[in-house]
Amino acid sequence: MRKIALLAFIFALSLSALTASSKYLWSTGRTIELVANKIDYKDNILAVANNNVVYIYKTFGVSSFTLKSSYILEEEVLDIEVLSTGDVGIAINSISTIYTENDSVDTVGRDIEIEIFNGNDIDQEGSNLYVANQDKGLTIYNLGNNGVEDIVSNYRKEWGLNSIEPQWPLLYTANKHGVATVNLSNLKKPMPFGNNYDVFSTSKVAYCNDYLFAVSSRTLNILDVSIPGKLKKFTSEVFPYNIHDIKVKDNEVFVILGDGGFVIYHIDENKEIYQTDSYDDGTFIEDIAFIGDYILVVRRNQDIKIVGYN
């Protein structure tokens, strides 16, 4: 009787996972002939980095990509973010801002400019841009008047910040010892909020529907953050590959596993978490970006693959 009940429970759980998200991955057979390792898309602007070279496209869905600008930097691009100003933010591990236009490619029309920041992770929320530095901490810029040099404040932490996830009035951070929360209620004076959640060195954090997804090597720690300032472990999962990155779109979390492709988790209206689909074409997945019902899959030393997801 217990076995029958257990099977019924597993069947119900599988049915819930199936109905939680009716979207599926499918091959479009299309690619973008460009090698890259970082990508971001917003407001019809696609920004792509290949180590120290940046390409910026104006797009019309996935049917048209027009190269507007390309730049060569002295340092490798660690993160890239399309900004609300229409420019593209670049994070590098240097205070140098030297770059040149890439004359080896043909661009069309007015150039889209880049803004360079000393850090390893950048994220915009509203008119504020947050820049994390793995050695120093956090710098907050205001972009309200297109003034990227307008520094609002700094938040120094001896552990440094590997990754940030702003969810005003809080900001979640990954550091050398785990995960911490910063209170941004007064942007001019950010303050620590609650205790550090100690796990192995955390390289990446991502937020979705009151859950914080924190990466420690091959382990994905899922924390319940529904109570502000209180980080409570919900569950964790260990993968056979190091987790390379995490991206979030709507109610879904995409866990990028490098050599293992990526897996997709859906969070339903009851805050249940289900794995709904996975992707692995045998290449190393560096990054992904979303354009409508499509995913741009950045593959190491390969072209960018356009995958449908609807």
Residues 14/294, Cβ–Cβ less than 8 Å:
no
The proportion of the chain whose per-residue pLDDT surpasses 70, expressed as a percent, equals: 92
Asked whether residue 292 carries a pLDDT value surpassing 90, the answer given is yes
Q: What is the pLDDT of residues 144-186, one digit of tens each?
A: 765 556 899 999 887 889 999 999 999 999 988 899 999 999 9
Mean pLDDT of the chain: 90
Mean pLDDT computed over 78-98: 93
The per-residue b/e assignment along 270-286, b for 16 or more CB within 10 angstroms, e otherwise, is eeebbebbebeeebbbb
CB atoms within 10 A of CB 90: 26
Averaged over 249-257, what is the pLDDT? 97
Tokens representing residue 132 in the block:
């994390």
- CA proximity to 297, closest of 25, 115, 75, 9: 25
Outline where DSSP puts E strands in 74-134. 79-82, 88-92, 99-101, 114-118, 121-125, 128-133
Q: In what order do the strands lie in the sheet with 25-32?
A: 25-32, 304-309, 294-299, 285-291
pLDDT value of position 109? 87
* Confidence at 11, pLDDT banded by 50, 70, 90: very low
Q: Which pLDDT score is estimated for 147?
A: 54
Question: How much is the pLDDT for 267?
Answer: 95
The separation between the first and the last C-alpha atoms of the chain, rounded to the nearest angstrom, is: 40
